[in-house]
Structure 1
Amino acid sequence: MAEDHTMSDLRALLELSAEEEERARVTWVEAARRCDQLQEEVAALDEEVAQHDAALDAFLHRLDRERAGSFTVRDIRHHLQSRDSLQHTLDASQTARDEARLRLRKVRAEARRLEETYNQTRAALEALQEELKAQEERQRRRRQRAREDELNDLLTHARLRRDD
């Protein structure tokens, strides 16, 4: 029993808790949405890495097939530049993907923390609601007993007057 809380205190706490619970829910939903966006970004980057990797493999296979012929210095430079460019693009894609995965892990961890905060806030709100209901019920019973006591006093007083 929370006698130290008045009904108005409990109602004010309940209102504040409901607002806090709503803020926690909104923040958690936003984090979950961000997780979904990052998951899509990672998937797109995975696809980009796969495409760049395939392009580099295709270039290296083509280069292997062409080795049978004779190369000029110009051809060799061009092939090396092409290979370096493809490798650089692949490395950049892999780095971007790895960074996106790291951001995703961080946002997922934050979303889990926010979900836990939301759940705790929700539980506190439900506890306050139960406490308020219990206190309202106790107050209703006290009023009922007071009315019954008042009626008993009136009956006793009426009997005494009648007996006189």
Structure 2
Amino acid sequence: MKRSGVLAAIPEEPRERLLALSSEVTFEAGTRVFEEGGKADRFWIIRTGNVALDIHVPGRRAAVVETLGPGRMLGWSWLCPPHQWHLGAEATSPVRAWEFHAAEVLELCDRDHELDHALLMYVVEVIGRRLRAARTRLLDLYGPAGSGAQG
């Protein structure tokens, strides 16, 4: 099986130790996976399907800032205090994913420094990408014309 996303970023042995902690879950299209501000105590690696990340906009519908597909990590807030979701997430198609409980993964990372480093480097990249996506989406909504996405 060809690896992509977070699984490609983690060397083989630590990746296998991480996957040993997973359980397979499914989400039907339209399922809210988590809500902005809720307790972040787990994350997922999407196997099939898509999940839209959205941000609450007062007085409006939530604004989608990014859509994630296979291989992508859903959720990074479990890693950073105060462990609350920074965005919301909704399955936009049927989704199959591996689910991980944060406490178990953090315990493994304490023992497995290669996994810890690879996971942290990947999550930092994810945070940067999602911050840029949220900024662009908010500029599209509220900024002067032409201030959002760059071609």
Asked if Structure 1 and Structure 2 have the same fold, meaning a TM-score greater than 0.5 normalized by the shorter chain, the answer is no
The structure carrying a bigger strand percent of its residues is 2
The structure carrying a bigger helix percent of its residues is 1
- Higher Rg: 1
Q: Which has the higher contact order (CA 8 A, sep 6+)?
A: 1
TM-score, scaled to structure 1: 0.28
TM-score, scaled to structure 2: 0.30
